[in-house]
A and B are shown apart, each in its own frame.
Chain A
Amino acid sequence: MSAITLRNVIKRYGAVEVVHGIDLDVEEGEFVVLLGPSGCGKTTTLRMVAGLEDVSDGDLSIGGARVNEVAPKDRGVAMVFQNYALYPHMTVRQNMEFSLKPLSLPADEVARRVDEVASTLGLAELLSRRPAQLSGGQRQRVAMGRAMVRTPDVFLFDEPLSNLDAKLRTQVRLEIAKLHNRLGTTVLYVTHDQVEAMTLADKIVIMRDGHIEQVGTPEQVYSQPNNTFVATFIGSPPMNMIPARVRQGRLEADGLLLSVPDRFKGVLAEDQAVTIGIRPNGLSLAKDVDHNTAPARVEVTEYLGNEALLDLRAGPHELIAEVPALGRPAPGAEVTVHFDPDALHLFDTASGDSLSL
């Protein structure tokens, strides 16, 4: 087990800088997920940790030692690739054995490790098969097994579930979580899927355009987003964003008038441009009109079973509300939407930063 530290790590390809000096601490045994849209630099960061890409500038340490110039094999890491990266002409057993070859272990030790990992991952029956004879989920398990037999200090996962179908993804996700609980190895995991990030991570690192936008527990990034990017990136459906201005202690947004929750009173200036953020479950349907409601029309309803999503139009604003499916209004209905003041987020429109203290 090893901690990973990144200090002002920069990656350049020629003149193009793709990772702009990031700082990150991964504690020993922690499960850290790098999350962000395509091209945000998360995979590049992971590959730098693996040693597959050079660090252009800054310091990268694993287990307390600087490893910028250390060869991948000497970093004590094992990596699971998106496309599994299995050797197509080798059996499952040979695939796992091949990654042990550099360790020059005695044959019985190799066999013991392979058998142990195979039984852990439910691969015992498949040891003599080739990758082409396996399903996607089985291949993914082999790829994990190949990483596990080496008993590395750090596991690196590069979007390991993105080639699996939805059902399998849930299943393998659970297996990864269980494995981490049991082995307790440090994990750095890259994904663009927020559900994976939320369910697996001890700590989520949200990246955009080569910068870290926020680091925090799943709860933190969900309930206390640092800025509008994190607020809209985490959560499905995304947080509703409404441009507004502060007018006489209230938030005025083109036909919408809401009172400012007490916790924001100190930080707002008159006429400041702000963005109101509220998650779909912060909106509800009200009977009475008060300071926190607005009239709206239901455009579309999406039935999800327990809940329903309402696509609402309130003046020029399009909102999504999550309400109990039972008794949901019909499309076209005129309703009153209640904005839960406790669920309200405010962001500075100019910088996008959260105004929560």
Chain B
Amino acid sequence: MAYIRKRNRRIFLIFLLPAILILFLTTIYPMLYAGYLSFRSYDLAKPFVPRVFVGWSNYQNVLTTGDFLHALKITFQLMAITLSIQLFIGVGLALLVTQRLPGMGIARTLLLIPMMISPVIVGLVWLFLYFPELGYLNYFLSFLGLGPVSWITSPDWALWAIAIADIWQWTPFIMMGTAAALTSLSPEPYEAARIDGNTRWQVFRYVTLPQLKPVLVSLLFLRAIDAFKIYDIIFVLTKGGPGDSTEVLSLYIYRQSFTFWQMGVGAAASFVSLIIIVVLITFFFKSLNRDPMQS
């Protein structure tokens, strides 16, 4: 017995080893190295200059110059816009595609397509749509007597332009998860409500929504993590501009590291944002998930 257990443990370790190795090489080591860098001065343009220990000065730099806080604000603005609209439209679409209507199976598949496209391609597609003079969007708006809108060249519109592209890409994710949850709800309570004469709104508000809540919270959680590190679409569409009007955290970190070549500052900013996201998301979802019946 003891022998078998010992052997099993060895097999267990052998099977786990590749995963541990990859995790270490791609995540843990870079993270530790970034931690090391965040306390050093490291100019990428001068790779042979020794990386001197500078204490907390990189962190001081991040937290006292306004750029980081500005990027943080833009990130949360973008998250608030995209998550709320994605939730709203996603749940609406889910309610629609779970109806027993002709063509809903096809509609469901078609609606998933944006999600399957690489974000860089999504950025490029929308870049063409937003193009000030030649873009389709302004072309169609002109029929309505509107525009032209300087989608990506005006600081007022750029964030919305990014939000629209992100909403277009990720609403299907909310829809898919919600639709799956909707189809798993047992039909009898709905029939009971129908006989009792509850209105559609009452049924949705008091029967469907509370039962969907755990799923919606999980979906939002996944989307929030994803939205916090949004990069590709913005990089293609605006590169953080015009000015710094769409510079989210990931772009700020990129700029510090690879434009200003301040690797130490970039690493420090990464760590600060990691802490922020962990704390905020934990706090936000704990409060959202608290059972109102028990409080």
Contact = CB atoms under 8 A, between A and B. Distances in A.
Interface of A: 50-52, 71-74, 77-79, 81-91, 98-99, 101-103, 130, 146, 150
B196 A99 contact: yes
B192 A79 contact: yes
B195 A72 contact: yes
A81 B188 contact: yes
Given A88-B211, A89-B210, A89-B211, A50 B189 contact: no
Interface in B139-198: 186, 188-189, 191-198
What 5 A-B pairs have minimum CB-CB distances, sorted nearest first? Answer: A73-B197, A85-B188, A102-B197, A99-B196, A85-B192
6 contacts: A50-B195, A52-B195, A98-B198, A98-B206, A102-B197, A102-B202
B278 to A, nearest CB: 30
A229 B97 CA distance: 45
Contact of B192 (A71, A99, A101, A103): A99
Interface in B249-295: 293
B192 A146 contact: yes
Contacts of A89: 210-211
Contacts of B196: 73, 78, 98-99, 101-102, 150
Nearest to B202: A101
Nearest to B206: A98
Interface residues of B, number: 18
Nearest to B196: A99
B189 A86 contact: yes
Nearest to A86: B189
Contact of A91 (B195, B211, B293): B293
Contacts of B195: 50-52, 72-73, 77-79
B199 interface: yes
B192 A81 contact: yes
Contacts of B199: 102
Contacts of A52: 191, 194-195
A72 B211 CA distance: 24
Nearest to B197: A73
Contacts of A99: 192-193, 196, 198
Contacts of B210: 89-90
Nearest to A82: B188
B11 interface: no
A135 B211 CA distance: 21
B293 A85 contact: no
A85 B198 CA distance: 15
Contacts of A71: 197
Contacts of A84: 188
A105 B137 CA distance: 52
Nearest to A75: B195
A111 B266 CA distance: 62
B207 interface: yes
Contact of B188 (A73, A77, A83, A150): A83
A79 B195 CA distance: 7
B189 to A, nearest CB: 5
A81 B198 contact: no
Given A83-B188, A102-B198, 4 more contacts: A51-B194, A77-B195, A82-B188, A85-B186
B16 to A, nearest CB: 37
A79 B190 CA distance: 12
A77 B194 CA distance: 11
Contacts of A78: 195-196
A162 to B, nearest CB: 14
Which of A50, A73, A83, A84 gathers most chain B CB within 10 Å? A73
Nearest to B194: A72
A30 B87 CA distance: 51
A87 B211 CA distance: 9
Given A74-B197, A102-B196, A102-B197, A87 B188 contact: no
Nearest to B211: A89
A98 B193 contact: yes
A102 B206 CA distance: 13
Nearest to B291: A89
B215 to A, nearest CB: 13
Contacts of B207: 87, 98
Contacts of A87: 189, 206-207
A47 B207 CA distance: 21
A127 to B, nearest CB: 13
Contacts of A86: 189
A79 B191 CA distance: 9
